[in-house]
Amino acid sequence: RKEVEQDPGPFNVPEGATVAFNCTYSNSASQSFFWYRQDCRKEPKLLMSVYSSGNEDGRFTAQLNRASQYISLLIRDSKLSDSATYLCALRGLIWGLGTSLAVNP
Amino acid sequence: NAGVTQTPKFQVLKTGQSMTLQCAQDMNHEYMSWYRQDPGMGLRLIHYSVGAGITDQGEVPNGYNVSRSTTEDFPLRLLSAAPSQTSVYFCASTLGPGANTEAFFGQGTRLTVV
């Protein structure tokens, strides 16, 4: 089993929709988690860290569920500019394959 | 603060040629790594280094060499380019393998081997 697994999508949603991605991990000792955004063939860039208590940054909310060993990213009021691939990462070293999001007008 | 600087951005090689992709970081990060990314494959680890003088193989090391003579630099060498090495390459650094910190990426090198 891969250490990190993501649903690759693609997710196609209309503008204004709410969309959520999950990322499951197998190592229960994992301590730090991140969500990255990657635009077409550009370098991944940090979107947000994931804190144990959950955290929010504008339209983006990250959650950690240690009991079920997954992290989630919720995007509210989707914009066209949110179209990208979203990667989850453990410790900045272990990477999911990424989930592709297309927001349509 | 430049972060991670990766060169070149684009490169076309003929089969059998060799080249070096350069990567430098100015954040005093111990851990540096090279990935290749192909459509639908995600980031695949080629080689990594946990500090100057220490390197190790990742998931897909064949055909590539690395060295880490300084903390700042981590070049990736293609020994004899093959069409299967056509890919986008990313260098990344993070504070350390045991540290709970984010990774920083270079801008990537789009390599085509003909």
Least CB–CB distance from A43: residue in B42, B94, B108: B108
Which residues pair with residue A37 across a beta bridge? Answer: A45, A86
Within a 10 A sphere around the Cβ of B97, how many other Cβ atoms? 14
Predicted local confidence at residue B26, as pLDDT: 96
Which residues of B, range 47-106, sit inside 8 Å of A by Cβ? Answer: 88, 90, 92, 94, 97, 99-103, 105-106
- Counting Cβ atoms within 10 Å, is residue B31 exposed (0-12), middle (13-18) or buried (19+)? buried
First-to-final CA distance of chain B: 36
Q: What is A54-88 written as a DSSP string?
A: -EEETTEEEEEETTTTEEEEEE-S--GGG-EEEEE
| Half-sphere exposure (Cβ direction) of B72: Cα atoms closer than 13 Å | 5
Provide the pLDDT for residue B48.
95
Question: What letter does residue B73 receive in the DSSP assignment?
Answer: B
For residue A20, what are the CA distances in angstroms to A9, A17, A32, A60, B81? 11, 10, 20, 10, 41
Residue B2: predicted pLDDT:
78
User: Touching check for A46 and chain B: CB below 8 Å?
Assistant: yes
* B100 contacts on A by Cβ (under 8 Å): 31-32, 91
Do residue A95 and residue B110 have CB atoms under 8 angstroms apart?
no
φ, ψ at B85 (rounded to 5°): -90, 5
Mean pLDDT of all residues in chain A?
92
pLDDT tens for A61-95 read 999 999 999 999 999 999 999 999 999 998 778 89
Percent of chain A surpassing pLDDT 90: 77
Nearest CA in chain A to B6: A43
| A21 part of contact set with chain B, CB < 8 Å | no
**Predicted pLDDT at B1:** 64
Q: What pLDDT tens digit does each residue of chain B (114 aa) get?
A: 679 999 999 999 999 999 999 999 999 999 999 999 998 788 999 999 999 999 999 999 999 999 999 999 999 999 999 999 999 999 999 987 666 678 999 999 999 999
Phi-psi region of B35 (alpha: psi -120 to 50; beta: other; left: phi over 0): beta
**Partner-chain contact A45 B106, CB within 8 Å:** no
- CB-closest option in B40, B97, B103 to A89: B103
